[in-house]
Amino acid sequence: MSTAPTEPTTAADPLVATSPSRTADASRVATPRPDYRLWAEQVLAGRDLTHEQAIAILRSPNEDLLAVLDAAFLLRRHHFGLSVQLYFLMNAKSGLCPEDCNYCSQSKVSTAPVPKYNILQRDKLMAAAELAAGRQAKTYCLVISARGPNEREMKAVEEIVPEIKAKYGLDICACLGLLTAEQAQRLKACGVDRVNHNLNTSESYYAEICTTHTHADRVQTLHHVRDAGLEVCSGGIIGMGETHDDVVAMAMQLRELRAESIPVNFLNSIDGTPLARTSELTPQDCLRALAMFRMVSPQSELRISGGRELHLRTLQPLGLYAANSLFVGDYLTTEGQPPEADYQMIRDLGFEVTGAAAAPHSQPADTHGDSASCDGEGSCGGQGGCGGGSQPLPVPVTEKTATRGIGDCGTGGCGG
């Protein structure tokens, strides 16, 4: 995606206001400038953001950044208040994937040194659930690396999900790769609440990042998820060489699919993958992308996902003026910042973590213990989730001791 701070296009649009030129030449004719807040007000009134307006947001100059975020925050606050939802990720099967997704360190074309193991046993999955509950999570994300789940993996999920929900009261989001209609129905029947399957990029660009399955395959899985009565979690990855048009096309398609949750990843170009050293994102690019997704899908949960620490850097707090959700802790094959840094960031903003699950049949887990450690074999991340309600922020935990050797969440598109 181009990162040059070019001026937005200004084709005839009743929502474009004019302002004095930003050049020192006073004699220069005033140039049209978007009124981003007016666009947000129109979205609140029921008008969809257009493709052209979305492009204008992505191409807006850096001096417009606060105005863009102000517009996004108008929508974020209307639908989500000052709440921040945290997600907890469990990498239940790592590596061993037959797909050739160029961004992924677990794909068959990657030479990155990542843990490789089949689906974990019950004790490790339950230990990660305990850690999620102890961090006041609401949603436990169960991820496998695969084209799609085999029968053994389906049965493992069907057995563990009811136990996790009964003991810890956690919602479950499953990311298992491509699904059949029958598999989606089985996930619904065992208690899964939501399925993640990212579009990752536009239909027209998809063949540039993967050839072992198609964009249409991913869309079909999302239709199976919706038809089974499950919520849809689907997003993408920014910074894979796509254009602004590709990013906007993906955002518009997610709006059409009515995705309840949209994770936005920023490519962490891992050595050993075909996309190593390809990302050229700036913090401003990332913030403009988050604002655009919020304005395209104002009622969807918008999550800042993989790569935020690397690309947003010191501007991470500004991302929460558009997004209302975070992964905290590590990712599938890359490290995140310590959870206590995220908790402090949320406090400093005056926001609050909401929707922590109440464990129905057990006492809250001890977040200072290391019971979730998977002795170098497993892979729970440090993510927590949320819905409605308000809870105080968790007591800071030591991520590196609590989950050393467990795992992390990569840049989007897990599980095929």
Q: Is 409 a catalytic residue?
A: no
Instruction: Place 358 in a pLDDT band, splitting at 50, 70 and 90.
Output: low
In this predicted structure, the answer to whether residue 375 has a pLDDT above a threshold of 70 is no
pLDDT of residue 31: 63
Hey, which residues does 88 pair with through a beta bridge?
140
Determine, yes or no, domain membership for 345.
yes
Q: What is the pLDDT of residues 41-66, one digit of tens each?
A: 999 999 999 999 999 999 999 999 99
CATH number of the structural domain spanning residue 199: 3.20.20.70
Active-site residue, selected from the candidate residues 33, 76, 101, 294: 101
- pTM comes to 0.82
What average pLDDT does this structure show over 404-411?
A: 34
Determine, yes or no, domain membership for 60.
no
Q: What is the pLDDT of residues 131-167, one digit of tens each?
A: 888 877 788 999 999 999 999 999 999 999 999 999 9
Contact 315, 283 (CB under 8 A): yes
C-alpha count within 13 angstroms, C-beta hemisphere, residue 376: 0
Determine, yes or no, domain membership for 413.
no
Tokens of 98: 């037959």
Alpha-helix runs per DSSP H in 350-393: none
pLDDT of residue 314: 96
What are the Cα distances from residue 295, in Å, to 50, 51, 236, 266?
A: 10, 11, 16, 19
19-33, 301-315, 371-385: range with highest mean pLDDT: 301-315
Active-site residue, selected from the candidate residues 33, 97, 386, 409: 97
Domain with 250 in it: 79-402
pLDDT of residue 200: 98
CA torsion sign for 106, 111, 114, 120 is positive
Active-site residue, selected from the candidate residues 33, 76, 104, 286: 104
265-279, 354-368, 382-396: least confidently modelled range? 382-396
In this predicted structure, the answer to whether residue 373 has a pLDDT above a threshold of 80 is no
Tokens of 374: 């998977």
Active-site residue, selected from the candidate residues 186, 218, 255, 303: 303
pLDDT of residue 280: 85
Determine, yes or no, domain membership for 349.
yes
Angle between helices 65-80 and 36-44 (to 10 degrees): 20
What average pLDDT does this structure show over 261-274?
A: 92
Determine, yes or no, domain membership for 63.
no
Q: Is 374 a catalytic residue?
A: no
In this predicted structure, the answer to whether residue 71 has a pLDDT above a threshold of 70 is yes
Determine, yes or no, domain membership for 112.
yes
Active-site residue, selected from the candidate residues 175, 190, 210, 233: 233
Instruction: Place 191 in a pLDDT band, splitting at 50, 70 and 90.
Output: very high
Q: Is 97 a catalytic residue?
A: yes
Length of the chain: 416
SS3 of 126-151: the string is HHHHHHHHHCCCCEEEEEECCCCCCH
- The domain tally of the chain equals 1
Instruction: Quickly tell me which residue has 């492009």 as its tokens.
Output: 55
Q: Is 233 a catalytic residue?
A: yes
- Which one-letter DSSP state was computed for residue 178? S
What does the longest C-alpha to C-alpha distance in the chain come to? 73
pLDDT of residue 20: 38
Distance separating alpha carbons of residues 31 and 21, to the nearest angstrom: 5
Contacts of 12 (CB under 8 A, 6+ apart): none
Instruction: Quickly tell me which residue has 């890359």 as its tokens.
Output: 334
Q: What percent of the chain has pLDDT over 90?
A: 61
More confident residue, 349 or 9: 349
Distance separating alpha carbons of residues 395 and 386, to the nearest angstrom: 17
Determine, yes or no, domain membership for 29.
no
Q: Of 345, 289, 286, 347, nearest to 317 (Cα)? A: 345
Active-site residue, selected from the candidate residues 141, 175, 210, 409: 141
Determine, yes or no, domain membership for 15.
no
Q: Is 303 a catalytic residue?
A: yes
Q: What is the pLDDT of residues 278-301, one digit of tens each?
A: 878 999 999 999 999 999 999 999
Active-site residue, selected from the candidate residues 33, 76, 135, 173: 173
- End-to-end CA gap in the chain: 23
